Chain A
């Protein structure tokens, strides 16, 4: 056995010399199989880190790093001890099993039924029924402009009162006493138009935490935690005027999260963010919602449909004031009998449509430069792309939206 392992180590050294990144990945797997402890693995990770930081042209590797990696491969062989490996694996497994018993409490934070809000002047009417927000879950609310999304969020956050229906907060208010002073201390609401604040971020965060009863050393700890967790450490001394729109939003988030709310309602948080910042914010929200210790329910309204869908557990769709609960994002449109693709290409729509004649029963339509193609289920995205290639149709953009909430925007055409 040891001879086999030695041969593998020698082969790995050759691969590392020729294809450092691939070789290091293989060495990492090798260490996980035959290394007696985690230190060996960590040494390789640091070598990978070093290679990524130095990032030499052509992906080459320095002599020093090569010697180090060869040494690690040799050391794994020298120290190989099946008994120790077995103990390491068992310890890891026991640790994993122990922690797996910890679970996110999936309690209902908010429930609402038969909500109706009417505006006499504009004759706009909002209706929402059968909605629930749970701890550890992100809910995405999408819909066209001016369909009542912000109004619904304000109702759920207790900012405005509906004419009919009731919003309950079983976790904060089990007896349904509706003490709004108390309830509002439990719900974090970030409106689309952020309110200007005075002073520095640091002062504001400390104040916000204190306002929610976090004082003394705990206040300092809470403030420092949220600054570090949201990556705002370089901006704590800045004032409102010194911040970009993106950072104003991130600061608003910090203010909302510093006191560990269990319900966070965000109205169009992605509106002022560039793509990179959107990803950071959504990824942070996802990880914070799913925290084992301080999990929370998050409701986000957004026009950024795909981005919101990518982190949401459930989706709501609002059309002309009526809310439709679409349920779990994983199950959405599972029972459909069609596929729907959106794409753009260099051909005018009429020519593109003609090129698809061989596909049989399909339906196409265009929304400016974006074309939509509805196909039977038998034509998958891969099939369709292959077909386009065979017809030499150059696709500039393509997305399979069969299971996206975007289908709701076109359901009259589908």
Chain B
């Protein structure tokens, strides 16, 4: 059983490596210094990386940049999201909310960021 598991993991690793070229821009979190501004998939991956590593402040900032660069002029969803985020931080610092409430609200922000960049991509013309 142990060897079967090892074999499966190795298989999986091999498969992922062989597919890496096809999906190289998605397989690792990319950070902004290495990313071209017009590489939308890497920009998305960067923001996702910040969410996964719980760096919400950076995720929010780069989400604003993402909307600035690819959004329409009056679209201020990302700025509104940032306002919500900073409201949470403010209440957290002032001790207005319990830790559980803060965690829940921040998780909502994390979800919103992921949903926003997903929905945004779906709205872009793809033909």
Q: Contact residues of A with B, CB < 8 Å?
A: 4, 7-8, 10-12, 14-15, 26, 28-30, 32-33, 38-39, 41-42, 45-46, 48-50, 52-53, 89, 91-92, 94-96, 98-104, 136, 221, 224-225, 228-229, 231, 233-234, 283-284, 286-288, 290-295, 310-311
CA distance A387 to B62 in the complex (A): 43
Distance between A56 CB and nearest chain B CB, rounded to angstroms? 14
Closest chain A residue to B16, Cβ basis: A29
Q: Contact residues of B with A, CB < 8 Å?
A: 5, 8-9, 11-13, 15-16, 19, 22-23, 25-27, 32-33, 37-41, 48, 51-54, 57, 60-62, 64-65, 68-70, 76, 79, 82-83, 86, 89-90, 93, 103, 106-107, 110-111, 114-115, 118, 121, 124-127
Q: 10 A-B contacts, Cβ less than 8 Å apart?
A: A10-B8, A11-B12, A32-B27, A33-B16, A33-B23, A46-B51, A48-B51, A95-B121, A229-B61, A293-B69
Q: Quick one: given A224-B79, A225-B64, A229-B64, are A99 and B124 in contact (CB under 8 Å)? A: yes
SS class, residues of chain B in contact with chain A: helix
The answer on a CB contact under 8 Å between A287 and B93 is: no
A49: B residues at CB distance < 8 A: 51-54, 107, 110
Closest chain B residue to A15, Cβ basis: B9
Distance between A237 CB and nearest chain B CB, rounded to angstroms? 11
A52: B residues at CB distance < 8 A: 52-54
Q: Which of A15, A42, A224, A295 has the most CB atoms of chain B within a 10 A radius of its CB?
A: A42
Contact of B79 among A33, A89, A228 (CB under 8 A): A228
Beyond A45-B110, A95-B126, A228-B86, list 15 extra A-B contacts (CB 8 Å): A8-B8, A26-B13, A30-B12, A45-B52, A45-B114, A91-B126, A96-B39, A99-B39, A99-B40, A104-B38, A136-B37, A228-B60, A283-B33, A286-B33, A310-B33
Number of interchain pairs (Cβ within 8 Å): 156
The answer on a CB contact under 8 Å between A8 and B15 is: yes
Q: Quick one: given A32-B23, A52-B53, are A287 and B65 in contact (CB under 8 Å)? A: yes
A50: B residues at CB distance < 8 A: 107
Q: Quick one: given A32-B23, A33-B19, A225-B79, are A234 and B93 in contact (CB under 8 Å)? A: yes
The answer on a CB contact under 8 Å between A290 and B54 is: no
